[in-house]
Amino acid sequence: REIRVWRNLRHPHVLPFIGICVLGPTTYMLSPWIEKGNALDYLRLNPDENCLKILLQVAQGLNYLHTFDPMVVHGDLKGANIFISGSGDALIADFGLSEMIIDPEGGSNPNQSNSTAFYAAGTRRWQAPELVNAETKEEAKRTTASDVFAFGRVMTELLTLQVPFAEIKNEAELIRKISLGELPRRPPASHSSHRHR
């Protein structure tokens, strides 16, 4: 599934897909080597970098996915899935939970068959409350709206240099807070104001 989605994407802020390599029973997906790592680690090591530039590039990449034909829902957007190129540009990566959505209205499509992971997987800290609280497969479906919610969490993550709810280590407590719609801690304005330039 990841190859099917990723191989068609071409955008300055989406990690390029080069091809595959099959060694025995294992298939490897190939992309360019990204020497600067993921966005969160990069900004922690380079706190004076322009965080807003990186966030704008992520937004542009996400807009490309959501306006691609057929539309692509990423499904697991977070700082660890955004890489930084040698020139300092953001690249959205990890399309393992992504799906191409044939029906742009988001309604049910009898010909659409999403994977179980598309409904059940993902990283809780970046998920919208409605996904965490979902009781049916349809309610748990990732959408462009859930991607945008995750992008909001990414904004907080990269501006604070901490994953959402960093202070919570217990999974049950994390799920409780998210399901109640509680928000991650925000830094004082002085903490991140220099990173807005």
Examine the residue annotation and report whether 76 is marked as an active-site residue of this protein: yes
The tokens for 40 are: 């969160």
Amino acid identity of 90? Answer: A
The one catalytic residue in 48, 69, 76, 103 is 76
Q: On the CB side of 167, how many CA atoms lie within 13 Å of its CA?
A: 6
Token representation of residue 83:
């890489």
- Give CA–CA dist 118/94, Å, rounded: 13
Q: Tell me the three-class secondary structure of the chain, residue by residue.
A: CHHHHHCCCCCCCECCCCEEEEECCEEEEECCCCCCCEHHHHHHHCCCCCHHHHHHHHHHHHHHHHHCCCEEECCCCCHHHEEECCCCCEEECCCCCCEEECCCCCCCCCCCCCCHHHHHCCCHHHCCHHHHCCCCCCCCCCCHHHHHHHHHHHHHHHHHCCCCCCCCCCHHHHHHHHHCCCCCCCCCHHHHHHHHC
Positions marked catalytic: 76
